[in-house]
Amino acid sequence: MSTLQETPVPMARPHDGFDVFRADTYALLGSLLAAPPEQRLLDWLAELETDSEGGSRLAEAWDTLREAASEAIAGQVLDEFNNLFIGLGKGEIVPYASWYKTGYLMEQPLVELRQDLRGLGLEADESTHEPEDHLAALCQVMSLLVRPEEGYSAAQQSHFYMRHMHDWCGRFFKDLQHCPSARFYRAVGVFGVTFSGTESLRFEA
């Protein structure tokens, strides 16, 4: 059975293959939502070649994220992350499916998610203390499902995304943009809204 672990720094670029790029985009979002980025990840993003002149919304969102990373300092982003997601008792935003769907933590959406994870042969790493419906973990799952060498079908991708992410992750990323402490993470919110929108259109088709 596969284990969900910390998301690695993504290395794929758009020309490396569309599904590989999608998988690494999910990995990137998972990494940014799981922990504050180290300077090496910010530097990687700042040097990312984007194609905003192509006119697509996703390309423009990549450019927004790249520019934010080029101005970001890891120590300041650490403080921003703590204010947003940790805080004193609770951060400014709560990145859990159960919270967005029911207004409470560890509710029925988490139960349904755990059932589907078992069906996919996935389980949480024992060292991870966050519930599996944290958006970082959901992005990590999608990264695995999309990656061609993992062997999951398009139907499995669609089922997981539409059941566990479609109806709330866009709202989360919109809310993230408006959090008082969001600076670098405002750009993450812009990018997340755009990317999740393209994925929703893909799976609704």
Domain annotation covers residue 3:
no
Here the CATH number for the domain that contains residue 180 is 1.10.3480.10
Domain annotation covers residue 11:
no
For the whole prediction, is pTM greater than 0.85? yes
pLDDT at 171: 98
User: Is 176 within 8 Å of 79 (Cβ atoms)?
Assistant: no
Share of the chain above pLDDT 90, in %: 80
pLDDT above 50: residue 83 = yes
Domain annotation covers residue 4:
no
Mean of the per-residue pLDDT values for the chain?
A: 90
Domain annotation covers residue 2:
no
Domain annotation covers residue 29:
yes
Which structural domain range is residue 60 located in?
17-204
Domain annotation covers residue 5:
no
DSSP per residue, 27-84: HHHHHHHHSPPPHHHHHHHHT----GGG--HHHHHHHHHHHHHHH--HHHHHHHHHHH
Q: At a CB cut-off of 8 Å and minimum separation 6, what does 151 contact?
A: none
Q: Could you report how far apart the first and last alpha carbons of the chain are, in Å?
A: 31
Domain annotation covers residue 147:
yes
Q: How many domains does the chain have?
A: 1
Q: How confident is the model at residue 2 (pLDDT cuts 50, 70, 90)?
A: low
Domain annotation covers residue 1:
no
